[in-house]
Amino acid sequence: MPRKPARHCRSARCLPLSFSPFARSVARIASNNKVTHKVPNSRFPESNLPSSSGKRMEKRRLVDKSDNSGSSDDEESDGTFQADFEFFDPKPSDFHGVKILLQTYLDNKQWDLSGFVDVILGQPTVGTVVKIENDEDDGIYSIITALNLGRYKDLECIADLKKFLLNACHQKDVYSKLSLFLGDQAEDVGLLVSQRVVNLPPQLLPHLYDALFDEVSWATEDEPTEELRSSFSFKFYLVISKIYKHKNAGKQNGPSGDQTIVYIKAEDEIFQELSSWSFSFPLHTQLVRTDELKDYRLTGLVMAVDASKIPTFRQKLHSLIEQS
């Protein structure tokens, strides 16, 4: 079954998203103050173009307009940028761009990151990198993939990752479940890796995740051997991410409800809602914080999600983006 490109995505606002009004506002402020990649101006016709190798190359145009309520039609272009994002299968030449995105994937741990990137790039049938058309630097703006923990269990990078997670988990009830995931159940677990620049338009998210889960499904039918097909028949997904957590969370004088956590990635709130178990842990790496985040600390978050919940996740993610 050939892989099919998803629909075009054209939107008028490119803002960080989260469910609660508090988290959304703080995340927006935080992202606006931590942008490290500029999106160049570009104006190209929308189209779906096959690459020369027959692999997927999807183009999505994103338009961002700042709030200029008093501007006239002649001034509509002020404060507006337009960019064509393209989706590609990972390839070896993406090594440095992907490695930069994953630099703090396991906090400040010294581990076989290069080997981990090689595994990602060595699995082109499942996974997507996002670039901008005609970008001279050929920069990578996002990477998303799913790796079978059992298939790669003998690799140094996966051994490093497992050790990191086990050392980070201090909840006894969760530790036993995590150990099972990383051990006897590893063949059924997909490590869902999703890293991107902080200002990637959220309108791309449903398409990125749809592409990933569609590719996982296709791989169970299209891979050349039964062993490979079985390696994508995930029963669970393991997600490693980061959140901002209030320094007094859980304390008597601390905040409650929505103000306890700020989700940096919009989808993580959905993942945690659907997770069968999760745990958080302190990070040594701390980003520069705004005044609004001065009482929050960057915190690691690990979540286990049953594969049966993925259709619900996809639906909720689409609804979140469409309603914002």
Asked if residue 278 belongs to a domain, the reply is yes
Q: Is residue 74 pLDDT above 50, yes or no?
A: no
Give the chain's mean pLDDT: 80
Q: Is residue 226, in this structure, part of any structural domain at all?
A: yes
pLDDT value of position 251: 66
> Structurally, how many domains does the chain consist of?
1
Contact between 157 and 115 under an 8 Å Cβ cutoff? The reply is yes
Question: Where residue 278 sits, what CATH number does that domain have?
Answer: 3.40.630.30
Contact 323, 273 (CB under 8 A): no
Q: What is the residue whose two structure tokens read 């997770």?
A: 275
13 to each of 31, 65, 82, 103, 262, how far by Cα in Å? 14, 6, 11, 29, 21
**Residue 49 lies inside a defined structural domain of this protein:** no
Residue 224 lies in a domain: yes
Residue-wise DSSP of 293-310: GTTEEEEEEEEEEEGGGH
The angle subtended at Cα 220 by Cα 219 and Cα 222, nearest 5°, is: 55
> Does residue 280 form part of some domain?
yes
In a domain, 114, yes or no: yes
State how far the Cα of 298 lies from the Cα of 287, in Å rounded to an integer: 7
Position 51 in a domain? no
pTM beyond 0.85: the answer is no
Confidence of residue 13 (pLDDT cuts 50, 70, 90): very low
Q: Is 323 helix (H, G, I), strand (E, B) or coil?
A: helix
Q: In this structure, what token pair is assigned to residue 80?
A: 């507006």
Domain that holds residue 125: 84-323
Decide if pLDDT at 130 tops 90.
yes
Residue 296 domain flag? yes
Lowest mean pLDDT among 8-12, 269-273, 274-278: 8-12
